[in-house]
Amino acid sequence: MLDVQKIRNDFPILGREVNGHPLVYMDNAATTQKPRQVIQALVDYYENFNANVHRGVHTLSMEATDMYEDARKKVAKFINAGDPDTVIWTRNASESLNLVAYSWARENVESGENIVLTPMEHHSNLVPWQELTREKNAAIRYIPLDNEGVLDLSDIDSIIDDRTALVSVVHMSNALGTVNPIKKLCDLAHARGAKFLVDGAQSVPHMVVDVKEIDCDFMAFSGHKMMGPTGIGCLYAKKDVLEGMKPFLTGGEMVLEVSYEKASWADLPMKFEAGTPNIADAIALGVAVDYLEDIGMANIDEYERDLTGYALNKFIDVEEEGGKLFGPRNPDQRGGIISFDTPDIHPHDLGTLLDQMGIAVRTGHHCAMPLVRSLGVAATSRASFYVYNTKKEVDVLIEGILEAMRYFRDGVR
């Protein structure tokens, strides 16, 4: 059993009040809160080790370089990448996905080929492929969903075919909470000679993710969704794939040798990290990884599944008042993300009312506009959990939703 109160004590922001109420933070799919250890790591870097990394021979530079590269090793171990050189620092998952689109896909996707996605992709794993296929005269195909928001694989052999260059799939939907069978999809892609990419932005922070077991060619994720700072993300890719890719950005640090006529590229991972990197946030992400590993990712997964199951049962009260829940009902098929619609209340109005009660949720399209529109609603409200959330907070959320529904229906609170 996790000591959740002990975990909560590590997060200074969870002690504050909002509009006279204790903060109930349930917008973790957008960004997570940061433990004191991560915040202190940022302060410590700037107060004691601030210097540019690599090639410097003075003490501060060498210390900063060691901490920066140690963080890369921690991330590689966290996802079982093996070689730290296969972990590329980026700003976020969106940049990681764009790096693949520009550096790999533009060289490898040909006219008449197709890229396979799901209808639940975040815009970051949709728009780059729309642009690429338009440029390459290629096509996008979608694996359909069933009525619960689970992938329907009944016709998958005709969707992923010999003309499929890439299958790019979100591991856990940020809009539905659905957890997709990525290992099975990866095997299907490889059987047809296609590469396989995982958008792990919502899965890497919440469950054990092993890139070797999945056998994915690429995986993208963000630091700020896993207790780390904003502005730092990762792209994992198999080493032979990275070695065959051209740089995404060029300039300082990513070169081996430069003349007035030409340049050659540095070895991995430097080839993809032009300019002064985000040193402090990479180091702090390494501390966030330490924090998560101290808790144990299997423990986090188990706790959040139990919390999600509890929340799904509590949402029956909302449904009895006319609310509608989206995504699978089985907690084994979903993560701690619950999107819903409330009759007669626009999600933005609901979000504003809940904020008056100190409850932070997300409202809108969640950067999955085509999916949300396909649900037949203007937008949805979304509560998303992390290991520091509690069943008591779920009760507060449900009571807040019901109070808002009564207010809009009866005009009383």
Model confidence pLDDT, tens digit, residues 359-409: 999 999 999 999 999 999 989 999 999 999 999 999 999 999 999 998 888
On the question of pLDDT at 412 being above 80, the answer is no
Helix, strand, or coil here: 257?
A: strand
What's residue 332's pLDDT?
87
Flag whether pLDDT at 79 surpasses 80: yes
331 pLDDT band, cuts 50/70/90, is confident
Q: 94: which 2 tokens?
A: 């969106």
84 near 69, Cβ under 8 Å? yes
**Residue (of 204, 155, 153) closest to 181 by Cα position:** 153
For residue 225, give the nearest of 75, 95, 32, 387 by alpha carbon. Answer: 32
Q: What is the pLDDT averaged over residues 75-101?
A: 98
Distances (CA, A) of 107 to 43, 110, 245, 248: 42, 8, 8, 12
Q: Do 4-30+296-410 and 38-294 agree at the fold level?
A: no
Q: Which residues are identified as catalytic?
A: 367
Does residue 354 contact residue 404 with C-beta atoms inside 8 Å?
yes
Please answer whether residues 271 and 247 qualify as being in contact, where contact means their C-beta atoms are separated by less than 8 angstroms: yes
The domain limits of the chain are 4-30+296-410, 38-294
**CA angle (160 as vertex; 157, 161 as ends), nearest 5:** 85
Report the Cα 22 to chain-centroid distance in Å.
Answer: 27
Q: Which of the following CATH numbers is that of domain 38-294: 3.40.640.10, 1.20.1630.10, 3.30.390.50, 3.40.50.1820?
A: 3.40.640.10
Three-state DSSP at 135 gives helix
Residue 8 confidence class, pLDDT cut points 50, 70, 90? very high
Phi/psi of residue 320, nearest 5 degrees: -65, -20
Class of domain 4-30+296-410: alpha beta
The torsion of the CA quartet 246, 252, 258, 259, rounded to 10 degrees, works out to 120
Q: What percent of the chain has pLDDT over 90?
A: 96
